[in-house]
Amino acid sequence: MNAFYPQLIGKALLVSDMHLGISDPNLRDLDNLKLDNLDLVLRRHFDATMIQDLGDGADSRILRPELLERLCKTYAQIAYHGMKRLFVLVGNHEGTKREIAPLSPFIIGTKTGEYGANLVTDESIIAPPFFMRGWAGDILPPPASVTGCRFFSGHLRVRDWLPSGAKGVTLDELAGLGYEAIFLGDFHKPVSVNHNGCHIHSVGTFGASSWRDTDIRSGYVLVMWDEDTYEAKRIAFDSYPVFKKVKINVGDDLPDLHNSVVRVFLSSPEPIPSEVIEDYKARITEQKPFYFEIHTNDTSIIQDTVHTDADRQIEAEINQWPSGSRTLLGQFFSESKSQQIPINWSDWR
């Protein structure tokens, strides 16, 4: 177990469950949107003293090397330039038999150390005020009285948030560990509860990837602390599409579908004429969803992709930030992307 000097005052940027590697070819542009957002979030919060990726950045079942390369280059730039302390946790969807993340050759191969990149497995890392641990099944972490830390960050399944009969630890068990706050990856929906005096947070997915993420707004969490208090807030993306399922009867108006990934279930007691379906397709297209499907009574499906200009939306968000953050980190990324990062592949720890 590695240990680091404590940060008595600090700001941590937490991301989780990016799940790069979408299988549906109609939605693969979402993977690049996730990485665009990651670049921009790092620019916006250039003053963070710690960055934590709480796991499942990629999926070992669907590995796309070009996405992993881009993600690893982004993280390697941060580590190489010594801007932050970066911790990448291994999630349950990463690596061969979930033992080692696809990121690990890039992360371990960078200059590691106090301000480098650190891979967090089930063996854990102490970086006060955080105790961190990657995926370790349904095993509870050691209590705060053992780690000496105020907060726990990990990739851990919580039974209370899952359907009846699911495996996982309970909120009662987590609260009994004695941490002031707990931040978790694995559950894609953002949740924040005060359970028996312990604040337990599901960070939520950084980028929704499938219909299992229906109605979830993608985003990230900021944690600010001093010696006595802490504050955590989740920031949701306005520009990243939300997965939606909409059931309507023929003749009903459509809800707002702009920049969404949507399945429209169109129903009628009678067979639906093709011209009615085409009319709904035109009306949906006018709203500029990211992608849509129309499902009808006879199980026919009409699919179409109407990509909105998400990059322009993201750039508009940047323009609202203070000029200092745009200039400083904008310059850093423009300079660093043109450099070759020296990766010492023999310097594995």
pLDDT value of residue 346: 33
Work out the number of other CB atoms within 10 angstroms of the CB of residue 319. 8
pTM of the shown model: 0.83
With beta carbons less than 8 A apart as the criterion, state whether 216 and 204 touch: yes
Residue 4 amino acid letter: F
Q: What is the pLDDT of residue 35?
A: 94
One-character DSSP codes across 101-135: -TTHHHHHHS--STTSEEEE-TT-EEETTEEEE--
Cα(192)–Cα(301) distance, integer angstroms:
38
Angle at 175 between CA 228 and CA 208, to 5 degrees: 90
What domains are there in the chain, each with its CATH number? Answer: 2-236 (3.60.21.10), 242-305 (no CATH)
Mean pLDDT, consecutive 10-residue segments, the chain of 349 residues?
72 95 88 93 89 86 78 76 76 61 55 62 91 92 96 96 91 97 97 96 96 96 95 95 95 94 92 90 94 81 60 49 38 36 31
DSSP states along 147-204: H--SEEEEE--BGGGS-TT--SB-HHHHHTT--SEEEEES--S-EEEEETTEEEEE--
Residues in the chain: 349
